[in-house]
């Protein structure tokens, strides 16, 4: 086996975004593209000599080939060992768990999350640090710097490692351990939740539909929900991961998981519905006749987590990303918990979790999780909901209505304008930025602006700062609109407009969300000139 030093040149645009480097798959497949980035990861983390890493991905197109390249590059640069999920598969939370449990020096996750997969779609690579979480900006900056100066990379000339069979193998001097991707994760879930109570719930005839969206949670959900908890066969649908996710977007929201939402709105719907995304870190929660927004889900989980054995002593604190609704803030203030507001991106929760300041975190982008790993965790959220349903004996509808009665309701929706020309989107934000100081006191669509600012964050643990994290406009009476450009898109720009209003009158709880927010939506357009700047009449997606 020969160790090759391959000459290369810096490739432009290898800057990791909100969650690693995401590009079109064919870009990743261009000569040296993946190799340059992987070698730059090694540089950015101070080399891999003698280190142990975890490796796995969501099974999308190119996952298997990329895994072999990464293994050969790890071996060539002197890594001691790589722990790989069988078939090069690992959900993001399962990878985070393995990194932590086996006390490794970090890991590489191959995924573009909820973006579609296939030769014409997206691929991604991200590095997670030894705490199991996405690399903080300081590390991704070093990686990016390395991509700008790279001249050579090291790779072993070798046959593929057989990743289909479990067990220990070698690649040059490096050890490769192929592990069951589900086993350790399933054990972790058993340690957190009352599996007996959930099994009893299923045994009593409780029905559920889990849509794995042809993505990575299929094997996990089949093993845990059907295998261990006794949910009837067929509870998990679209359960076999496919390289192009069955041709769909593996994004659990009312648009891309419409089939599940439609089913749940039927009179004979199952009691509980859920879905997860490409790499298994997002979740969508539904009950018969009700869709639970991610922000509400976070609030309900915070209010009820103590019903699950893993959280029986209560929470140390909660955290949400800035655009996430303030429903969880209401729970925190009533329960006397610290509540943190962070920029968008799971990595910002890492320090709070590590420092024991927060136990539960969540984002409006369908992510919820806790300190059990350092990623958001789709199936974990589903199991915590199941534990709460089993412990309370209530339906999802009842839980939501009781929650709103106790804490009030934050009605919430996100409007996305996708594939907007990047310059026009930037101009919208810039115009808004220059107008911020003039907004307070002005009225739009009958709403008076109380305050307006651009969100910046100082990490309370290490003092690091992040600025330019989205523009917030607060209205009198508790309404709010947030404007932000997506950090995960691969084509043009996506403008996200987050609309929120407080609703305390129980008579209004049943109101249609879009209707309830219609005046805030009009105000948002008047404030930011969305139509004018984007040339769009309506959003592409309303979550």
Q: How far is the CB of 282 from ligand G6P (least distance, A)?
A: 7
Q: Whole-number minimum distance, CB 110 to ligand G6P, in Å?
A: 15
On the 0-12 / 13-18 / 19+ scale of CB atoms within 10 A, 13 is: exposed
Part of the chain binding Zn ion (CB under 5 A), chosen from 74-82, 113-121, 238-246, 303-311: 113-121
Residue with tokens 């309830």: 516
Residue 58 interacts with Zn ion (CB under 5 A)?
Answer: no
Angle between the N-to-C axes of helices 396-407 and 327-335, in degrees from 0 to 180, rounded to the nearest 10: 70
Count, residues near ligand G6P per rule CB under 6 A = 14
Q: Does 488 bind Zn ion (CB under 5 A)?
A: no
Smallest distance, ligand G6P to C-beta of residue 508, A: 29
Q: Name the minimum Å distance from CB 415 to ligand G6P.
A: 12
Please, is 165 exposed, middle or buried when counting C-beta atoms within 10 Å of its C-beta (0-12, 13-18, 19+)? exposed
- Cα 111 to chain centroid, rounded: 11
344 contacts ligand G6P (rule: CB under 6 A): yes
> Hey, is 431 helix, strand or coil?
helix
CA 313 – CA 307 distance, rounded (Å): 9
By CB under 6 A, residue 19 contacts ligand G6P: yes
Minimum CB distance to ligand G6P, residue 540 (Å): 13
Least Cα distance to 74 among 172, 8, 185, 166 occurs for 172
CA distance 109 to 115: 15
Q: Is the CB of 121 or the CB of 363 nearer to ligand G6P?
A: 363
The item of ligand G6P, Zn ion, none sharing an interface with residue 121, based on CB under 5 to 8 Å by kind, is none
By the rule CB under 6 A, 496 interacts with ligand G6P:
yes
Binding of ligand G6P at residue 419 (CB under 6 A)? Answer: no
CA distance 380 to 372: 9
Please state whether beta strands 465-466 and 457-458 pair in parallel, antiparallel, or not at all (unpaired): antiparallel
Q: How far is the CB of 307 from ligand G6P (least distance, A)?
A: 26
Cβ closest to ligand G6P, residue 59 vs residue 367: 367
Near ligand G6P by CB under 6 A: residue from 42, 153, 346, 475: 346
As measured in angstroms, the least distance from the Cβ of 113 to ligand G6P is 5
The pairing of beta strand 317-321 with beta strand 122-128: unpaired
Instruction: Note whether 113 binds ligand G6P by CB under 6 A.
Output: yes
**Interface pick for Zn ion out of 194, 226, 279, 363 (rule CB under 5 A):** 279
Greatest alpha-carbon pair distance for the chain in Å reads: 73
Q: Is the separation of the CB atoms in 65 and 38 below 8 Å?
A: no
Distance CA 249, CA 253 (A): 10
Least separation in angstroms between CB 349 and ligand G6P: 8
Per CB under 6 A, contacts with ligand G6P among 281-300 are none
Of 396, 412, 445, 392, the closest CA to residue 330 belongs to 412
279 interacts with, out of Zn ion, ligand G6P, none, CB within 5 to 8 A per kind = Zn ion
Q: Does 363 bind ligand G6P (CB under 6 A)?
A: yes
Residue 18 interacts with which of Zn ion, ligand G6P, none, CB < 5 to 8 Å by class: ligand G6P
Residues of this chain, 34-93, that bind ligand G6P according to CB under 6 A: none
Spatial separation of the C-alpha atoms in residues 20 and 135, rounded to whole Å? 8
Closest distance between Zn ion and the C-beta of residue 367, in Å? 8
CB 366 within 8 A of CB 372: no
Q: Check binding of 277 to Zn ion (CB under 5 A).
A: yes
Does residue 113 interact with Zn ion by CB under 5 A?
yes
Using CB under 5 A as the binding rule, whether residue 283 contacts Zn ion is answered as no
**Window of 76-84, 100-108, 190-198, 360-368 that interacts with ligand G6P by CB under 6 A:** 360-368
Interface segment toward ligand G6P; rule CB under 6 A; list 2-10, 343-351, 383-391, 432-440: 343-351
> Of the ranges 217-225, 307-315, 363-371, 402-410, which one interacts with ligand G6P (CB under 6 A)?
363-371
Token representation of residue 255: 């648009």
Q: Which stretch binds ligand G6P (CB under 6 A): 289-297, 300-308, 344-352, 447-455?
A: 344-352
Find which of Zn ion, ligand G6P, none residue 346 binds, CB within 5 to 8 Å per kind: ligand G6P
Q: Is 486 in the site for ligand G6P (CB under 6 A)?
A: yes
| Contact string 225-264 vs ligand G6P (x = CB under 6 A) | ----------------------------------------
Binding status of residue 105 toward ligand G6P by CB under 6 A: no
Should residue 116 be labelled a site residue for ligand G6P when binding is judged by CB under 6 A?
Answer: no
Token output for 146: 């390395």
Q: At what angle do helices 92-101 and 378-392 cross, to 10 degrees?
A: 90
Tokens 């309900």, residue located: 300
Strands 447-454 and 443-444: antiparallel
**Whole-angstrom Cα distance, residue 166 to residue 106?**
21
Contact 35, 74 (CB under 8 A): no
Which runs of E-coded beta strand occur in 65-147?
81-89, 107-110, 122-128
Phi and psi at 396, nearest 5°, equal: -60, -45
Provide the annotated active-site residues. Answer: 113
Toward ligand G6P, which CB reaches closer, 436 or 541?
541
Whole-angstrom Cα distance, residue 150 to residue 345?
28
The binding site for ligand G6P (CB under 6 A) comprises: 18-19, 113, 321, 344-346, 363, 365, 367, 486-488, 496
Q: Could you list the residues that contact Zn ion (CB under 5 A)?
A: 113, 277, 279, 281-282
């Amino acid at each position: 086996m020969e160790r090759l030093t391959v000459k290369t040149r810096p490739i432009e645009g290898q800057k990791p975004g909100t969650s690693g480097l995401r590009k079109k798959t064919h870009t990743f497949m261009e000569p040296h593209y993946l190799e340059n980035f992987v070698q730059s990861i090694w540089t950015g983390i101070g080399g891999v000599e003698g280190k142990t890493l975890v490796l796995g991905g969501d099974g999308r197109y190119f996952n298997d080939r990329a895994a072999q390249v990464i293994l050969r590059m790890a071996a060539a640069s002197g890594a001691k060992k790589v722990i790989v999920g069988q078939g090069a598969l690992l959900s993001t939370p399962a990878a985070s768990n393995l990194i932590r449990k086996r006390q490794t020096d970090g890991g590489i996750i191959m995924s573009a999350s909820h973006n579609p997969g296939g030769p014409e779609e997206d691929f991604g690579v991200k590095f997670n640090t030894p705490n199991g979480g996405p690399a903080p900006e300081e590390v991704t900056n070093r990686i990016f710097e390395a991509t700008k100066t790279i001249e050579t990379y090291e790779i072993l000339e070798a046959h593929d490692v057989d990743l289909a069979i479990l067990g220990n193998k070698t690649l040059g001097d490096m050890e490769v351990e192929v592990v069951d991707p589900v086993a350790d994760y399933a054990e972790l879930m058993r340690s957190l939740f009352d599996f007996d109570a959930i099994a009893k719930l299923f045994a009593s005839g409780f029905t559920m539909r889990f849509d794995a969206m042809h993505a990575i949670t299929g094997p996990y959900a089949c093993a845990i929900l059907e295998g261990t908890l006794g949910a009837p066969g067929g509870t998990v649908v679209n359960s076999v991961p496919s390289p192009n996710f069955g041709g769909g977007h593996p994004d659990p929201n009312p648009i891309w998981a419409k089939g599940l939402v439609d089913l749940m709105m039927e009179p004979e719907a199952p009691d509980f519905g859920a879905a997860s995304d490409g790499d298994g870190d997002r979740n969508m929660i539904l009950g018969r006749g009700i869709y639970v927004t991610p922000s509400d889900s976070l609030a309900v989980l915070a209010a009820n987590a103590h019903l699950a054995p893993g959280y029986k002593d209560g929470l140390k604190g909660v955290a949400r990303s800035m655009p996430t609704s303030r429903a969880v803030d209401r729970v925190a203030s009533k329960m006397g918990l610290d509540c943190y507001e962070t920029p968008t991106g799971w990595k910002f929760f890492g320090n709070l979790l590590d420092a024991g300041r927060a136990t539960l975190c969540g984002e409006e982008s369908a992510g919820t999780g806790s300190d059990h790993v350092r990623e958001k965790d789709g199936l974990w959220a589903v199991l915590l909901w199941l534990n709460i349903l089993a412990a309370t004996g209530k339906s999802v509808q009842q839980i939501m209505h009781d929650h709103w009665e106790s804490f009030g309701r934050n009605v919430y929706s996100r409007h996305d304008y996708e594939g907007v020309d990047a310059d026009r989107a930037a101009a919208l934000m810039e115009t808004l930025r220059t107008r911020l100081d003039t907004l307070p006191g002005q009225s739009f669509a009958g709403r008076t602006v109380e305050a307006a600012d651009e969100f910046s964050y100082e990490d309370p643990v290490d003092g690091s700062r992040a600025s330019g994290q989205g523009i917030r406009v607060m209205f009198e009476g508790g309404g709010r609109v947030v404007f932000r450009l997506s950090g995960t898109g691969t084509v043009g720009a996506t403008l996200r407009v987050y609309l929120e209003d407080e609703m305390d009158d129980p008579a209004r709880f049943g109101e249609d969300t879009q209707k309830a927010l219609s005046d805030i939506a009009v105000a948002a357009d008047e404030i930011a000139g969305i139509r004018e700047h984007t040339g769009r009449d309506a959003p592409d997606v309303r979550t």
